[in-house]
A and B are shown apart, each in its own frame.
Chain A
Amino acid sequence: MTARRLPHGGEIDRSRPLRFSFDGREIHGFDGDTLASALLASGERVLGRSFKYRRARGLFGAGVEEPNIYADVTDGDQFRVNQRVTTEAAANGLRLQSTNTSPTATGDRMGFIDAFSRFIPSAFYYKTFMWPNWHLFEPRIREMAGLGRLDTTKSGPIGDQINHFCDVVVVGAGPVGIAAAIMLAEAGQSVLLVDEGSRIGGSLLHRTAVIDDLTAAGWLAQASERLRDLGVQILSRTTAFGIYDHGLIGLNQKHVCGRPDTLWRVRPDQSVLATGAIDRPLPFAKNDLPGIMSAQAGLTYLRRYAVLPGQRIVVATNNNTGAEVAQAMAAAGAKVTLVTLRAEAEPLPGIALHAGRRIEGALGRREVAGVVLDDGTRIDADCVLVSGGFTPTIHLYAQAKGKLRWDDAMLAFVPGSSVEGVTVVGGAAGQFALAEAFHALPVALKLQAIVPITAGVPYAITPAWPDPGQKGRIWVDYQHDVTTKDIGLAARENFISVEHLKRYTTLGMATDQGKTSNLNGLALMGQITGRTIPEVGTTTYRPPFVPVPITSFGGPRGAELMNPVRRLALEVQHRAEGAIFGEYGGWLRPAHYGQNDAAIVAEAGMARRTVGLYDASPLGKIEVIGPDAAGFLDFIYYNTVSTLKAGGCRYGFILSENGIVYDDGVLVRLDDNRFIVSCSSSHVPGVHALLEEWRQDRFPDKRIHIHNATAETATIAVSGPLAVDVIKAAGVDAVLDDLSFPHMTTRWGAWGGIPLRLTRVSFTGDRSYEISIRQDLAADLWDALRDAARAAGGGPIGIEAVMILRAEKGFIVIGKDSDGMTRPMDLGVIGPLRNKKAEFLGKRSLLQDEAQRPDRNCLVGLQPADGAGPLPVGAHGIDQNGPALHSIGYITSSYPAVSTESPVALALIKRGAERHGEIIMLQHLGKTRMARITHPCTFDPDGDRLHA
């Protein structure tokens, strides 16, 4: 036991003790502890294992920079994987399992791997495991890799999301961020101040300062009050993880008490980044031993959580921030030695000083037991606090495409260009001394303000980069076990570009994303290759700044809230009829009304014998209105439209500009200046956009108005020999005799005084009427029609039955019986190509070599020619002539026999139009079938049943 909890001080509430378990051991802490501070206070040093060599590891950091210690956390019925212990609040009853240990951090069976480390340097896996092949080795390696283990029996929480607008987001509520927020709010800006900590204050929570003659705590209390008075919105436990296009900034907010995280999408005019800086490790042999910790982290544990990290502490540094740490540790009762590379360092009372010295190596096997200095001095220690200098946290700035500049005095990359809407202040801008940072604020924020007064010495630093000549194993990236030797190897093998260095050694690719390691790594690469640090450069900064729960991004979208299906106005009626629903073209529609598939055939047969009623509401009803509408539609349609008489209907195609059939449907001409484009249900938005595009692009000064009336109108189709009787019996007021209301016409009628439109078109081959009525009035009409149909021996039929009826007639469903190569000629509609003289959409493409090719796949019917049942959809026709087996097309629709002798199928078959009667071989999932090619229409070929 080396670290210990002090009897008083810190933010913890000693009146509220708590307990959780770590690797099965009980850990005691207090309310206000992080998992890390409680673990440290317990005296346990070895809390995890490194990713590759499985070396024993302890805490290095106290915040998001922590590279070493992660745990899988069970919290009641919730489970969270790979939790960074330094940023998670301790809570009663949690169960922690250290990640990547078998079975525990202290008793890891895989620890022996470190003994073989010399044979498995960076990227060794590219050089071996090739014989016999990688598959032999991979499963074992996969099992050894990974960190935590998901609980696959559980889901995780459903993330929360919120959009927010404000004038300014200030990221980081340290002293500089707070001062900036106050200045901006005083200037009248609406400000959102966010900080990833559990409370605002940043470095003031663990460092001493006198600001405006107040202590750090005193100033913080006063500033908090001022923020509140100014109405600054403060989000704690909130990390700004990314800046995206057009200034959007993404925040992830954690909550206490188990509530899932909230993703904030904030669109400010300005983002002020007061994100501070992170202390680097120092390079020396075995610098990864448990007990070696960042000096700032040590100070944080002492001041915020009252944990003294050791009894005999060496503070080692290359800058002038070590003195405060050493004094604080000594004041708390530790025996302290300060080792500083800065020769000019002044002695401090009660603290042994080694000025102008560096640590050569750490002593100890599993935990640190002391250090050896470069002059050979050995110092006994149970804790080494290191400070290699501050690295500004400029991730968000770099994500926003800010260019970095190397500051040779600060030994840091700092912002080097201005980025619109992004302002960097404080430590993130390389202003590591508070006075300097405060002083720079008004200029940076472009406003007049009174600056907080503080004293302090300027930051000073002496380079202490890893040296190619240094002896021993010196860690650069703790989590991924990248040592200076690995960087040397990368250089030797010519992986000297910084991106190659990263990828070859995996430097900075661990879950901490190299927050403590990257700069030391590229400094070393620079030295080896004779380049300066800015010449080596940095890798690209990518979001998120810290790992963010995927559920925050996913939010509540899931189940029925994901790509919601469209609902019919008559859904309640269909449900009452016992409909089984399916998704068709984005709509939830009745597939059939019985419990099983047998209902489908029964419904189809019923519709042929008497009458079938189906909901055709999703069919497009896009009105094209105006004196120039006919000319416009002549361009849109493959067919000629302007010759259609008022009250008439015409079946036609809309092609895409590359000649492919995009949609088919019936065009209705209500009067000279009014048309209804009735397109496929799944194509309504697409056809609407297409009509608008061409109207605005090609007919901008013509009098045409387009209105999509699909959703406001319900359509009920009545089909079958008894259709007229049923419509009459239901009380629809309309003239229905064949002479005044022939096939392919539309007429107005009424029902109970409500106007409705009847369109006599047929998708089934039987006499059919599509009755369109205001959707909010459709339910009663449906009930009346259903009752009348029932009385006539018919009733509702689902989409599946309709599919059979139309297939018997050879009517296609676009996208099912056509594919993305189908031209109108392939569907047997050749007339307009030959005869239509006017320009139309896609015309030129129909003259391409490909469109004119004689061996194209054409729509045909297919009947089984082998006595077996219906042909399988997706089966291909095959041709065994020629060098290799090849496909001659495929079945697109297939159904059991209902009105026909034989089961029906539709197919696209090569040269199909000229091959009616021919028998072809089909292949499906390795088996063959025989089928006869027929005309697509196999039922009532003369159309007698339409009574046209």
Chain B
Amino acid sequence: MQTFSCPFCGSRPEYEFHFGGDAGNERPEGFATVAAPVWAEYLHFRNNPKGDTQEVWLHMTCGELFVMDRNTVTMAAGPGQPILPPKVTP
């Protein structure tokens, strides 16, 4: 049993979380112009590194997405970070 740290709920057991994919997998915009290989890259092709990685996770019980640094060999997982940068009040 691993434990992950949701930025909103704290440390919770792994079965409350859902893996959401590579952080930074930007959706190509403009369906009329996006080439098929570019779309396929976005849909299917993954970094899948052995070692340190940054991923998006969903904490299913609170419904929030967050970003987490993780190591795919040691399974070490850093604290979850909110996706949104903190709002700067002018």
Contact = CB atoms under 8 A, between A and B. Distances in A.
* A/B contact in complex, CB under 8 angstroms: yes
Interface of A: 244-246, 248, 265, 267, 401, 657-658, 685, 688-689, 692-693, 696-698, 700-701, 706, 839, 843-845, 847-849
A657 B20 CA distance: 14
B58 A845 contact: no
B63 A689 contact: yes
A697 B42 CA distance: 15
Contacts of A700: 83-84
A248 B58 contact: no
Interface size class of B (residues with CB under 8 A): 20 to 34
B34 A844 contact: yes
B90 to A, nearest CB: 15
A632 to B, nearest CB: 15
A692 B29 contact: no
Contact of B29 (A267, A658, A839, A848): A839
Given A839-B30, A844-B31, 11 more contacts: A246-B1, A246-B77, A267-B1, A267-B3, A401-B74, A689-B18, A692-B64, A696-B84, A700-B83, A843-B31, A845-B43
A843 B75 CA distance: 36
A845 B28 CA distance: 12
B65 interface: yes
Contacts of B1: 244-246, 248, 265, 267
Q: Which of B1, B77, B83 has the most CB of A within 10 A?
A: B1
A696 B31 contact: no
A688 B75 contact: no
Interface string B34-73: 1010010001000000000000101010011100000000
Nearest to B35: A844
Nearest to B29: A839
Nearest to B32: A847
Contacts of B3: 246, 267
B75 A693 contact: no
B2 interface: yes
Contacts of B31: 839, 843-844, 847
Q: Which of A401, A692, A701, A849 has the most CB of B within 10 A?
A: A692
Given A401-B74, A700-B84, A844-B31, A693 B43 contact: no
Contact of B39 (A689, A701, A844): A844
A657 B43 contact: yes
Contact of B63 (A244, A688, A849): A688
Contacts of A248: 1-2
Contact of B60 (A245, A689, A696): A689
Contacts of A696: 64-65, 83-84
A845 B34 CA distance: 10
Contact of A692 (B27, B28, B43, B63): B63
Given A657-B43, A693-B65, A848-B36, A246 B2 contact: yes
Contacts of A843: 31
Nearest to B83: A696
Contacts of A844: 28, 31, 34, 39
B29 A693 contact: no
Interface of B: 1-3, 18, 20, 27-31, 34, 36, 39, 43, 56, 58, 60, 63-65, 74-75, 77, 83-84
A370 B18 CA distance: 65
A246 B77 CA distance: 9
Nearest to A698: B27
A-B pairs with lowest CB-CB distance, top 5: A844-B31, A245-B75, A843-B31, A696-B65, A246-B2
Contacts of A697: 56, 65, 83
Nearest to A244: B1
Contacts of A692: 58, 63-65
Contacts of B75: 245-246
A658 B84 contact: no
10 contacts: A246-B77, A248-B1, A401-B74, A685-B60, A692-B63, A692-B64, A706-B63, A844-B28, A844-B31, A844-B34
Nearest to B62: A692
Contacts of B30: 839
A506 B54 CA distance: 41
Nearest to A401: B74
Contacts of B43: 657-658, 845
A847 B28 CA distance: 14
Contacts of B56: 697
A576 B56 CA distance: 48
Contacts of A685: 60
A211 B54 CA distance: 53
A650 B50 CA distance: 47
A246 B31 CA distance: 43
A689 B56 CA distance: 13
A689 B19 CA distance: 12
Nearest to B65: A696
Nearest to A847: B31
A442 to B, nearest CB: 29
A683 to B, nearest CB: 15
Q: Which of A700, A701, A706 has the most CB of B within 10 A?
A: A700
A760 B18 CA distance: 36
A844 B20 CA distance: 21
Nearest to A849: B36
Nearest to B18: A689
B54 to A, nearest CB: 15
Contacts of A698: 27
A386 B75 CA distance: 43
Given A689-B58, A692-B58, A692-B63, A245 B2 contact: yes
Nearest to A700: B84
Nearest to B63: A692
Contacts of A689: 18, 58, 60, 63
Nearest to A420: B76
A710 B83 CA distance: 27
Q: Which of A246, A401, A706, A844 has the most CB of B within 10 A?
A: A844
A692 B8 CA distance: 15
A697 B75 CA distance: 25
Contacts of B60: 685, 689
Contacts of A244: 1
Contacts of B77: 246
Contacts of A658: 43
Nearest to A841: B27
A843 B64 CA distance: 25
Contacts of B34: 844
Contacts of B63: 688-689, 692, 706
Nearest to B20: A693
Contacts of B29: 839
Nearest to A688: B63
B46 to A, nearest CB: 14
B84 A845 contact: no
Contacts of B58: 689, 692-693
A931 B73 CA distance: 56
A658 B36 CA distance: 12
Contacts of B36: 848-849
A168 B67 CA distance: 31
A202 B84 CA distance: 55
Contacts of B84: 696, 700-701
A693 B59 CA distance: 11
A402 to B, nearest CB: 13
A693 B18 CA distance: 11
A245 B36 CA distance: 40
Nearest to B3: A246
A688 B62 CA distance: 11
Contacts of A267: 1, 3
B42 to A, nearest CB: 8
A852 to B, nearest CB: 11
Contacts of B74: 401
Nearest to B34: A844
A689 B18 CA distance: 10
A839 B2 CA distance: 38
B22 to A, nearest CB: 13
Nearest to B1: A248
Nearest to A844: B31
